[in-house]
Amino acid sequence: MAISSVSQTRIWFITGSSKGLGRALAETVLEQGETVVLTARNPQHIEDLVASFPPNRALALQLDVTKPEEIREAVKQAIAKFGRIDVLVNNAGYGILGAIEEVSDEGVRRQFETNFFGALEVLRTVLPHMRQQRSGHILNISSVGGFVSYPGTGIYNGAKFALEGISEALAQEVTPLGIKITIVEPGAFRTNFVTRSLVIADIQINDYETVIGEMRKGARDILDMKLDFEEPGNPKKAALAMIQAVNSDQPPLRLILGEDAIYAINAKLESVKAELDAWREVSVNTAFDEVLVAK
């Protein structure tokens, strides 16, 4: 794994910088002497972080990723201030808990508007500048739930799967132009995700209680009693891992963060391979008889 030396201060543009991994990453990048455009729906929530560093190193901007006009304005201001964007981090997002049938149409669309369409709009706004530079790195913050689905999080999984799908294609499109793509797949990190970034579906269907009831109860207990849920992942270490990937001459397409995420993804890969092998004969026997199928 080759790590390149950073010859100049890079300009980072991070969405959802007010909390969680976004804030941890912004703070760590600033501590390492680089420049960050921090964005949040409410810039007041990041003013304290910006004030801790020289004004030419940090810029706070208002950005709701569901509003294309705010995306265009934020990118415009970032380019006007610093002249370029070297690293885009699509981090803004939230989770929704509920069976597929329980989440309202509005809830589904709102989830996709933020977690998928918002990220898509941001990267499509930044890409022309990176193409002109013939350089850049885009980190799309997905989740272990962008690779593995779980009961009760299907709508969230769907949005993250969609983000990963376009990221895979995008990597093949822009690598010849000097632009790198990394999908970040964190497991459980201590970011207060449940108390700050999780919505529980209003509808509750009894038939799903045996499947997701315990998960729903646990989330509500944390929310109602404002409990601390001690996830194993350290956000600071996640930030350092992301920076290491950006510093690499050969960054991964997927950066998996956390042993829990590695375990879940390995289990799915093994399951898919086992099923693929078990049904191989049925699968290949769908060709026309005159077509030779490689064994």
In the residue annotation, 156 being an active-site residue is answered as yes
In the residue annotation, 160 being an active-site residue is answered as yes
The amino acid occupying position 224 is D
Return the H-helix or E-strand segment holding 141.
Answer: strand 136-141
Contact criterion met (CB below 8 Å) for 65 and 14: no
CA–CA separation, 264 and 293 (whole Å): 33
Catalytic one of 18, 19, 160, 167: 160
CA–CA separation, 108 and 153 (whole Å): 11
Catalytic one of 142, 143, 167, 180: 142
CA pseudo-torsion sign 257, 262, 268, 274: positive
Q: Which ranges constitute the DSSP H helices of the chain?
A: 20-31, 47-51, 68-82, 105-112, 119-133, 154-174, 193-197, 209-225, 235-247, 259-278, 280-284
Catalytic one of 18, 19, 143, 156: 156
Contact criterion met (CB below 8 Å) for 53 and 30: yes
Length of the chain, in residues: 295
Look at residue 150 and give its three-state secondary structure.
Answer: coil
Q: Which of 55, 51, 71 is nearest to 63 (CA)?
A: 71
Q: Which ranges constitute the DSSP H helices of 5-57?
A: 20-31, 47-51
Look at residue 153 and give its three-state secondary structure.
Answer: coil
Active site residues: 142, 156, 160
